[in-house]
């Protein structure tokens, strides 16, 4: 099926009323992605066995409801989609949702699951966290603070990796000065990859069975590989009780690109 044909069919579904809500300006996406105190949820799904047996026209109609749900909730939450199929053995899709209220994220996920498309989704995992102001950076040197402020390389970063992390009780009972020193060593190991690997941290303690969710975007997976190897060599890593399980690797896609991928 060509892209032109798919877009023509999708426009037909739009005209027939598969999208109920008018397109609004939506939330301030950049603010949600940069401010502290924002909730972030990672919802991972597999498609059921019935999905592949459906006729393509039926799949298009049901995928139209996915776009409808995204449009209905974009006034309250920012939604990013990732195709995991082909890169993961346990999941097909990842939704990263940001909101000022966790119940707004919950409302989106409830509507998604109850949609015609969502009824084909089997939950593989959900993780919750929130963004906070950097807690160790104030104790870093001025030069390191300046290095951390350097922008990443421009251009598309198609790959996304999500790694959950849990720290040991020994870490949480450690003196603050020791923690800062170890995190400074951690940061020194990460600095060579700052331009090619974007990173965002979510705090999960009390919201999930994790302590952190680390989110990365890159166009250079070899740099990401080297980054992780470097971080595993620092002293702070000995206090990591869990890293991954699962580690999620996918490709950043728009809603329309996801629809096109899943129609095949």
- Cα–Cα nearest to 63, from 8, 110, 95, 19: 19
Dihedral through CA 97, CA 99, CA 101, CA 103, nearest 10? -30
Greatest alpha-carbon span in the chain:
63
The tokens of 199 are what? 């990173």
Residue 241 annotated in active site = no
DSSP E strand stretches across 31-91: 39-47, 77-83
The residue length of the chain stands at: 264
Secondary element (H or E) of residue 221: helix 221-231
| Backbone φ, ψ for residue 36 (5° rounding) | -85, 160
Identify the active-site residue in 7, 29, 85, 199: 199
Whole-angstrom Cα distance, residue 91 to residue 205? 25
| Backbone φ, ψ for residue 204 (5° rounding) | -115, -10
Whole-angstrom Cα distance, residue 226 to residue 249? 16
Whole-angstrom Cα distance, residue 250 to residue 252? 7
Whole-angstrom Cα distance, residue 222 to residue 175? 35
Q: Which residues are catalytic?
A: 199
């Amino acid at each position: 099926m060509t892209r032109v044909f798919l877009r023509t069919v999708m426009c037909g579904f739009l005209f027939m009323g598969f999208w109920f809500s008018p397109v609004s300006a939506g939330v301030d996406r950049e603010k949600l992605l940069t401010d502290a105190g924002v909730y972030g949820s990672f919802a991972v799904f597999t498609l059921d066995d019935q999905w592949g047996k459906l006729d393509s026209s039926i799949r298009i109609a049901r995928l139209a409801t996915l776009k409808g749900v995204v449009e209905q909730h974009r006034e309250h939450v920012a939604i990013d989609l990732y195709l995991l199929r082909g890169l993961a053995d346990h999941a097909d899709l990842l939704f990263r949702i940001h909101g000022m209220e966790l119940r707004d994220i919950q409302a989106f996920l409830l509507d998604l699951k109850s949609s015609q498309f969502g009824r084909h989704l089997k939950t593989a995992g959900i993780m919750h966290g929130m963004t906070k102001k950097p807690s160790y950076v104030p104790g870093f040197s001025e030069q390191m603070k300046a290095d951390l402020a350097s922008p990443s390389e421009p251009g598309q970063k198609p790959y996304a990796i999500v790694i959950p992390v849990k720290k040991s009780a020994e870490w949480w009972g450690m003196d603050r000065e020791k923690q800062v020193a170890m995190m400074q060593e951690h940061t020194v190991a990460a600095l060579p990859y700052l331009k090619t690997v974007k990173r965002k941290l979510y705090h999960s303690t009390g919201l999930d069975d994790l302590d952190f969710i680390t989110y990365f975007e890159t166009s250079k997976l070899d740099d990401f590989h080297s980054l992780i190897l470097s971080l595993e060599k620092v002293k702070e890593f000995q206090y990591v009780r869990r890293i991954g399980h699962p580690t999620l690797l996918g490709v950043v896609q728009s809603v329309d690109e996801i629809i096109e991928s899943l129609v095949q």
